[in-house]
Structure 1
Amino acid sequence: MTHLATRRSVRLLAAVAALSTLTALGGCGKAGGADDDGAAPAAAASSAPATPDGASAPAGTTDTPPAAVTVDACTLVTKQEAEKLAGTRLEDPLEKPEDRDTCTYTGPVTGPTAQVEVYVGDGAKKFLDIDRELGHELTPISGAGDEAYAEDGTVFVSKGGVWACVRLVRSEDPATYRKALEAVARTAAGRL
């Protein structure tokens, strides 16, 4: 097996592991920790602070800061920017109002093979953590948010504690797209 084929196999395994982790975590990236049906998790409901007389405070009156502003992943990288990055026409992302922390632009079924994936929030940070655990070579990107890294086919950026990830799937050598991915990281950081 060639070095490039081995790296692709490792990347595929990492992607499968990341997807499995994201699936297992369920709604971790959703604002306010709401379940799929919009209800707050049971543990969160029982964590209301007590009033001075020992009774529970009314719902929605906690001492914890409000949930971070939710960023729509499709606004971090527009379809036009995704097409420029991939160097080909891409399909519109599927609309999922309940899932704004991911956005995927896919190539047409007639080809070429192309996909741009955008993740924001806990899922993006988990993707980075998994790649670090797998020993992926991460190169810092200057001028992109508070913290940013690039690896073959993927960039990670953080601003104000919010992480985003942009992943490009193409059949060519990932180095071909490195500068374009770094530019997209800077653009996405400016929108976080």
Structure 2
Amino acid sequence: MRFLTPARLAVSAVAVAALAACGATAPTAAPPVPAPATEAGPPTEPADAPEPVDAPPVDACALVSQQEAEKLAGTRLADAVPGGESCSYTGPVSGPLAQVEIYVGDGAKKILDIDRDLDHEFETLSGLGDEAYLEDGAVFVHASGVWVAIRLVRLDDPAAYREPLMKLARTVAGRI
């Protein structure tokens, strides 16, 4: 990719001014040439290249139901609060403190990268998506080209939630 430096910009300005002084205009692209007539019918316009189709976004709230989030947290939770590529279920204001967060896409991968940079301890989970990792209070799954992070906030011992996190991660990996 070439950048316009002040020298290139000056040369371009001089060239445009010279063309304008001569009454000339800058060259333009030639119009598309219609395809020749065939026995099947009249000439047609050239087809535009098809736009690449992005994979449809994954709905974070559809990956983990309220019932599944409540089972993970071990308590009742409020309705899902979607937030772009995330979803949150929070505990009632009367307690206990509980929150389940689901992140999908680049944000999920970024959380994993930050936790790695902070030297969090991870356990590699085999047989779960393309790759998966468990840490205290969170699980990360990569399946079908999509990263998902599930984070649980509770004041209890994180070890009590290892199995429920892994079970939910298996369910989510199957939905991607």
TM-score (normalizing by structure 1): 0.65
Partners of 1:95 and 1:130 in 2: how far apart?
Answer: 23
Which amino acid in the other structure matches residue 175 of structure 2? R
> Which residue of the partner structure matches residue 38 of structure 1?
none
Residue by residue over 1:19-64, the C-alpha shift from the partner in whole angstroms, topping out at 9 and shown as x without a partner, is xxxxxxxxxxxxxxxxxxxxxxxxxxxxxxxxx9699xxxxx6677
Identify the residue that residue 9 of structure 1 maps to in structure 2: none
Match of 2:41 in 1: none
Higher relative contact order (Cα pairs below 8 Å, separated by 6+ residues)? 1
Total equivalences in the alignment: 133
Inter-partner Cα distance in structure 2 for 1:95 and 1:104: 7
Instruction: Please point out which of 58, 66, 71 is paired with 2:53.
Output: 66
Give the C-alpha shift of residue 93 in structure 1: 1.5
Task: Measure, in 2, the Cα distance between the counterparts of 1:53 and 1:126.
Answer: 46
Aligned residue for 1:46?
A: none
Q: Percent same amino acid among aligned pairs? A: 60
- Taking the aligned partners of 2:51 and 2:121, their CA distance within structure 1 comes to 37
- The CA deviation string for residues 150-181 of structure 1, in whole angstroms up to 9 with x for no partner, is 00000000011110000000000101100100
SS of the equivalent of 1:69 reads coil
Q: Using the alignment, how far apart are the partners of 1:177 and 1:146 within structure 2?
A: 22
Deviations 1:100-126 (A, max 9, x none): x10000000000000000000010011
1:94 is aligned to 2:81: yes
- Paired with 1:153 and 1:71, the residues of 2 have a C-alpha distance of 22
Q: 1:82 & 1:167 partners in 2: Cα distance?
A: 10
Q: Are 2:61 and 2:82, in contact at CA under 8 Å, matched by a contact in 1?
A: no
**TM-superposed deviation, 1:136:** 0.9
Tell me which of 136, 140, 159 is aligned to 1:152: 136
Alignment RMSD: 2.0
| CA distance in structure 1 between the partners assigned to 2:82 and 2:165 by the alignment | 24
Q: Which one has the largest radius of gyration?
A: 2
**What is the rounded CA distance, in whole Å, between the counterparts of 1:138 and 1:181 in structure 2?**
13
Which residues of 2 match residues 104-183 of structure 1 at below 5 A?
104-183=88-167
Task: Indicate how the Cα distance of structure 1 residues 64 and 159 shifts in structure 2: closer, same or farther if over 3 A, else same.
Answer: farther
Q: Distance in 1 between matches of 2:154 and 2:107?
A: 22
What aligned pairs does 1:4-43 form with structure 2 within 5 A after superposition?
A: none
Separation (CA, whole Å) in 1 of partners of 2:30 and 2:131: 45
Between the aligned partners of 2:30 and 2:112, the Cα distance in structure 1 is 45
1:118 and 1:85 map into 2 onto residues whose CA distance is 12
Q: CA offset at residue 94 of structure 1?
A: 2.5
Q: 1:109 to 1:126 in 2, by over 3 A?
A: same
> Gaps spanning 5+ residues in structure 1: where?
1-51, 56-60
